[in-house]
Structure 1
Amino acid sequence: MGNASSMLTQYDIEEVQEYCNNLCSCGNAVSQQEIVSLYQRFCQLDRNAKGFISADEFLSVPEFAMNPLSQRLLKMVDGLNFKDFVAFLSAFSAKASVHQKIQFIFKVYDSDGNGKVSFNDLLEVLRDLSGSFISDDQREQVLTQLMKEAGYSRDSYLMLDDFTKVFGSTGLKMEVEVPVD
């Protein structure tokens, strides 16, 4: 795919749409209009027209840079090509399944990608979210108590199924509307 919106063909659009639909198994994860709008945004972010977006280019989006979890998200997005960019953002679509959203959240917490979330992984996220408002000792105490109340210990690992149990019944709402022209 080229670096200008005029170079996005109908074939490209359908290919991206099929790629995203296969990843989330939820039908039309993104519409063709959304793909065209996302391509224009992708081209704006890909300042050097390399065909992928770097972490620095992602940080040029103020809402992304201000997110307390931006450093964790950067690990997920650094070097995304256009198809993967759309797939990444499709987790925020109103059409995305709850399972797809839970998988995304799990990946944010599982920063080393080993398929399990440790006490330290949870502690890091809590540190990112709370900043300097509470001390490390307070964070550890809160998390230890929370884990204990949920039936886990500090040595426990949370798997995707654990996240599904917790988030699957919460009415998880994680959506960003893609403006279409």
Structure 2
Amino acid sequence: MGNKVVIFTEDQFENYQDCTFFTRKEILRVHKKFREMSPDLVPKSMTNNEPVTIKVPLDKTEKLPELRENPFRQRICQVFSRDGKGNLTFEDFLDLLSVFSEQAPRDIKVFYAFKIYDFDEDQHIGPQDLEQGLRLLTRNELTPEEVTQVCEKVIEESDVDGDGKLSFMEFEHVITRAPDFLSTFHIRI
């Protein structure tokens, strides 16, 4: 009855719907976007282990219109990639877009925002993490003194336990007071 290509098995679809905030139709759009990044690498059908074995390199993912202008694009890809280097499998890419979707709840977005800002991955956002984030946000337009001053002010105002760095709970407390957080932490597919 036709030449319809089966992109995913029924089990894969069910798992992806259970583990993301996407409908079946949105999952197909994510696959199309993933395939467009590297059509020579990504097959039309991913019914075996292709969703976890085929990786699109970071340099191709960074060029996506949804990420291209984001100063954190490289870090975002690193956080969501299984290899930690930013090379994304389909399932990594699906997770990334799911977390950044409008349907994802605030607590999931906060969790991943924390991971993105925790550059050294020590489970805290310290002065070096803040400096690195600030440099990306301002595209290195601040003087070293201004960067230090801003980072010290953030720690001073947000570090409740006085240890010189932000725990997840301290970060979450700051983010919940930021009314624009949800509107800036999403990508449309």
Q: If the TM-score is normalised by the length of the shorter chain, which range does it land in?
A: 0.7 to 0.9
Give 2:59's aligned residue. Answer: 56
Which structure has more relative contact order (CA 8 Å, sep 6+)? It is 1
* Residue 187 of structure 2 is aligned to residue 176 of structure 1: yes
Q: 1:115 to 1:9 in 2, by over 3 A?
A: same
Report the aligned-residue RMSD.
2.4
The whole-number CA distance in structure 2 between the counterparts of 1:133 and 1:60 is: 23
Q: For residue 155 of structure 1, report the CA deviation from its aligned partner.
A: 5.6
Q: For residue 19 of structure 1, report the CA deviation from its aligned partner.
A: 2.9
Relative to the length of structure 1, the TM-score reads 0.80
* Residue 174 of structure 2 is aligned to residue 163 of structure 1: no
Give 1:121's aligned residue. Answer: 129
The whole-number CA distance in structure 2 between the counterparts of 1:151 and 1:111 is: 18
The whole-number CA distance in structure 2 between the counterparts of 1:131 and 1:176 is: 21
Q: Gaps (5+ residues) in structure 2?
A: 43-52
* SS of corresponding position for 2:88: coil
Q: For residue 43 of structure 1, report the CA deviation from its aligned partner.
A: 1.2
**Partner deviation per Cα, 1:55-94 (whole Å, 9 max, x = no partner):** 0111232442322122322322423221221111111122
Q: 1:14 to 1:114 in 2, by over 3 A?
A: same
Q: Gaps (5+ residues) in structure 1?
A: 21-28
* Equivalent residue letter for 2:29: S
* Residue 75 of structure 2 is aligned to residue 83 of structure 1: no
User: Structure 2 matches for 1:9-24, cutoff 5 A?
Assistant: 9-20=9-20
* Equivalent residue letter for 1:39: H
* Equivalent residue letter for 1:100: I
Relative to the length of structure 2, the TM-score reads 0.77
The whole-number CA distance in structure 2 between the counterparts of 1:10 and 1:151 is: 48
